[in-house]
Structure 1
């Protein structure tokens, strides 16, 4: 790979994770940071000194040598702004940290900015590429598909309250953090036909005064069902269960996989090939391969898929119902008949 093939915007902790993965792939990078403190920490961890200062100025300084591929790993509140700027500047392909936009309105603005440029934007949900999830996908294929899914995106609210995050980020925590679990759930479920959600717990979590208890169900177009229950006001942890005709696949924590069969109650740990997860963040190396080389590219969500999923997240977050236009049309035709 030629040196400086990829642009990395952001120099925080996640950028350091990407640096380790890019080093494994022997791919050079141009790194554009912001402040001197994060740049110094990145330099200490990687040996590379990022640029600092206003992003527009740093991009101007590249003087026509802007890479066509970029990784956007800035603070969540600036993801949409930076992605739009890079698309306007001619970056053709981007891997953007989740959630790309912090609410539906910001996502609409981002889509409006990106679509006319023709840029391809993909979402960095690295958990889709973890060994546990890859093995679960294999089992689903072996067993003939998904029957149902159970998801839990409970958050450690008291710990989060001590992180010192900006209120904007806390208000949209559902999109920026809980979507890690829900993205996986919808990834296994497939296209959704309808979704019904209930919420409760208003005022129980100080930094998130809206709902803190979430429950509901969804139906996929192929008839598979999904249910979720999450409670941010009580102790809990993320988890996902994927049920096939032959096995119950338990991802809790998500990085591990236990399997229950019809033979009995034991949940047997699945042996996983962790070769690509040694020394790097789980899933990150294979995610980069998907983005750069097309390996397992079908598992890399693009901006349009994220926009559709965020419509589901918004209903789950606030309560209510959603139906696909196709199913609404079917219902209307049936009603008229």
Structure 2
């Protein structure tokens, strides 16, 4: 059983703590702010070590055999990751997208290469009950034939958010890649494709309109579109020979059978996603049990950032 250190005491760390407690995993919590640590303790009955990661590692320089979960603000993900890796951490689950920007991620590519298969980026939508059910339906139908997806962001909701410098400016990488990663996790990596993007009137993000299409290495035709200055939402449409599977919203499944116009909700067991942050329970269980089949390695995340995300945004 892994020995776990959870870094962070904010909302995301609270979600991890609930799952770890449910799994009966013993873990330490490292925080740096008294106020958030007190709130964390009041909600979990777990007292964080409030000294920050630097002091903790100075007192405990050798972390061999220890696994870390990094659940902090986006702006400090990469600096903390580097520190725990240099302390010889056994494995790391780091919150998405592991860096504040594609540029910061790629700047650290050489440093991260030796750790490419021991660091995992927590794209938890891969583990949604809806996604796992959709994969079963796709297999029943003999495979996926085509896919449409959308990653529209609600700019009017994002505009007033108080975020660290650089977070909103890289919102596509920080947030929209949740959907893009999921789409190509299901359909395969894009192989032959075209991508288009245009700037808009947002002061905090360089591009607001996106479209593209192509074929993946699994032979799945795909298209996507997104306009952050119009209406829309995150969504996937997965087409098999028998039906169109709508994940819209992604937590639910709606089905349109071939030869019909009716769209009906498909029921499945999503109790874990109701009781915990969606996808988190199964993701964390896989990390703890070294079941890496669905987990995203930092090595693949770097490849995706170079081959997919950079092409979409530019």
The reply to whether TM is greater than 0.5 is yes
Residue 207 (structure 1) aligned to one of 189, 204, 229: 204
Aligned to 1:150, the other structure's residue is in SS state strand
Aligned to 2:68, the other structure's residue is in SS state strand
Q: Deviations over 1:81-108 (max 9, x none)?
A: 1111111101021111100123333222
**8 A Cα contact 1:153 1:237, kept in partner:** yes
The answer for the alignment partner of 2:219 in structure 1 is 223
Residue 31 (structure 1) aligned to one of 6, 17, 29: 29
Aligned to 2:93, the other structure's residue is in SS state strand
Q: Deviations over 1:269-328 (max 9, x none)?
A: 111112322421111100011111145x3111111111121121111112xxxxxxxxxx
**8 A Cα contact 1:92 1:119, kept in partner:** no
Aligned to 2:255, the other structure's residue is in SS state strand
Give 1:153 deviation, angstroms.
0.5
Residue 297 (structure 2) aligned to one of 294, 297, 302: 302
The answer for the alignment partner of 1:110 in structure 2 is 108
- Distance in 2 (alpha carbons) for counterparts of 1:119 and 1:38: 32
Aligned to 1:95, the other structure's residue is in SS state strand
Give 1:166 deviation, angstroms.
2.5
The answer to whether 1:94 aligns with 2:92 is yes
The answer to whether 1:74 aligns with 2:72 is yes
The answer to whether 1:282 aligns with 2:278 is yes
Structure-2 change in CA distance of 1:198 and 1:223 (3 Å): same
Aligned residues: CA RMSD: 1.8
**8 A Cα contact 1:88 1:117, kept in partner:** no
**8 A Cα contact 2:102 2:173, kept in partner:** no
**8 A Cα contact 2:117 2:299, kept in partner:** no
Give 1:261 deviation, angstroms.
1.0
Aligned to 2:179, the other structure's residue is in SS state helix
Give 1:76 deviation, angstroms.
0.7
Count of equivalent residues: 313
Residue 178 (structure 1) aligned to one of 160, 173, 176: 176
The answer for the alignment partner of 1:235 in structure 2 is 231
The answer for the alignment partner of 1:189 in structure 2 is 187
- Distance in 1 (alpha carbons) for counterparts of 2:119 and 2:150: 28
**8 A Cα contact 1:277 1:283, kept in partner:** yes
Aligned to 2:161, the other structure's residue is in SS state coil
Segment of structure 1 superposing worse, 112-121 or 74-83 = 112-121
The answer to whether 1:257 aligns with 2:224 is no
Map 1:41-190 to 2 at 5 A: 41-62=39-60, 64=62, 68-116=66-114, 120-190=118-188
**8 A Cα contact 1:88 1:114, kept in partner:** no
The answer for the alignment partner of 1:326 in structure 2 is none
Give 1:67 deviation, angstroms.
5.3
**8 A Cα contact 2:116 2:299, kept in partner:** no
Unaligned runs of 5+ in 1: 319-337
Give the structure-1-normalised TM-score: 0.88
**8 A Cα contact 2:8 2:71, kept in partner:** yes
Unaligned runs of 5+ in 2: none
The answer to whether 1:14 aligns with 2:12 is yes
**8 A Cα contact 1:84 1:110, kept in partner:** no
**8 A Cα contact 2:32 2:51, kept in partner:** yes
- Distance in 1 (alpha carbons) for counterparts of 2:79 and 2:11: 20
Residue 264 (structure 2) aligned to one of 250, 263, 268: 268
